[in-house]
Structure 1
Amino acid sequence: MGITILFKLLFVHILSDFVLQTDSICKGKKKEGAAKVGFQILHSLIHAVLAYLFVAQWDNWIIPVVIFVTHLMMDFIKSDYLKENMTTFIIDQAVHIAVIFLLWFSLYGYAEHWFEWFSYYLSNPRLWALITAYLLILKPTSIFLSLFIKRWTPEESASQSLPNAGKWIGYLERILILTFILAGKIEGVGFLLAAKSIFRFGELNKAKEIKITEYVLIGTFASFTIAILIGFITSQLL
């Protein structure tokens, strides 16, 4: 019963925040004066009413009240004090999800069982091996790769790239490679390499692009090699 309510509250949040929040509501929350407040109240009310209906505990008014108040407060802070960017989006969603978890835990959670569960996993070496592997393929590997391919970096490559795009492409591809290997789906690595080849290596036949293409090939294969090695080592440790 308790875990079902948690999933219902998460479902309601996604439904209200992304499906039922129309463009007119989004634009209305950015207006000035009473109109903005009205749209913020409407959006928060949708969250609260749906939470009340889906949980279906008609004598429990704590859930809709808390969700309404916290959502309205967060919308007010976001519209008046925060810029509209990725960081704000993550903060906004993290706050709403944290409220849902805290609300559910305080009303339906079984603290003793959850503490036992957390203590078990925190003392489990498999968890720490996974965390270490994912951390290792991010910043440490990125630094190593930048130093490794520095001698081959063409002067024109920096001006032709988006800022930090290569770094984030590397992060994402290594996360996918490690996940594929740990999930036992090694064929996914081949699909990823083929997909990247289509986008990055199409200029190989142009002589003026040979240096950049070779540079990208070295970086790609080095990144794939490190991620695959870490993946296989981690899978053996697990």
Structure 2
Amino acid sequence: MAVLLLLLAHLIADFWLQTDQMVKDKLKYLKKHFLHHLLVSGIALAIIWVYLFEFKHIIHYFVLPLSFIVITHLLIDLLKIKLIDSIKSTRTDNMKRVVFFLMDQVLHVVIILLSCTLFIHISIPDMTASFKELSGTSSLHLVNTVLFIIIVYILATSVSGHIVKNIVGSLPSEFANFEGELTLRNKMIDGIERDQPKTENSFTGEYHYFTYSSPTRSRGKLIGYIERLLVIVLTVIGAYPSIAFIIAAKSIARFKQLDDRNWAEYFLLGTLSSIFLGLVIGLIVQGVLM
């Protein structure tokens, strides 16, 4: 329970309590981000301290792990900021950001596991056993399962959404809202030759119009969330062929937009990235629960 609770606290502070503005200018909002982790991690450690240790040894079981987690989190974030600021403007910017993001999250997880080992005295075999008890007969299996499901939900929505956003990159507003292309053809007859039935002197004018919708990024984000959650469920139950229907449904909904090659490539990259992340998380869930 302790490991899952601390992982959940980290995800809540890092994704649910962070605004887009805080992510863009993390150095400016570093104090606020620090306070978020101090508060959420403090609540999680307080629950662990009360439940597992019954108010005993507050320094060792509460103060020290909280200080260790928050200070190391701050140092890791500063390192990540420095690395991101060092990125030059190249075509590989997005992939570098994804790598830095994944490294950042892995380091945070390692710190949480290390703090559980050093201060809460939970060994690696005990951590492994706790995952095996998620669907077992342990008295804590219900709590562990609920925590695990919430963690999976955050991974499938906010975390995966952030990764997909970094992979596909940012688009100009007119490109992101592109709806389709409309072509009109108009046949015109020269006025001078109009009264001469035997002479046909005409030309065709062709006009191209691009149609755009109002910004609906929040709707697209919601579609991505539902898509990955469906992929996870289908993966867990082994219904892999059904995943193809999700891709088909998205393609039908975006049929007109797919006429534009650039938009089609953007759509394909985002969809494949989202499906891949859903499959990976689904296989992890399947391995833990089955």
Q: TM-score range by the shorter chain?
A: 0.3 to 0.5
Query: Which structure shows the bigger proportion of residues in strand conformation?
Result: 2
TM-score, normalising length from structure 1?
A: 0.45
Query: Which structure shows the bigger proportion of residues in helix conformation?
Result: 1
Larger radius of gyration between Structure 1 and Structure 2: 2
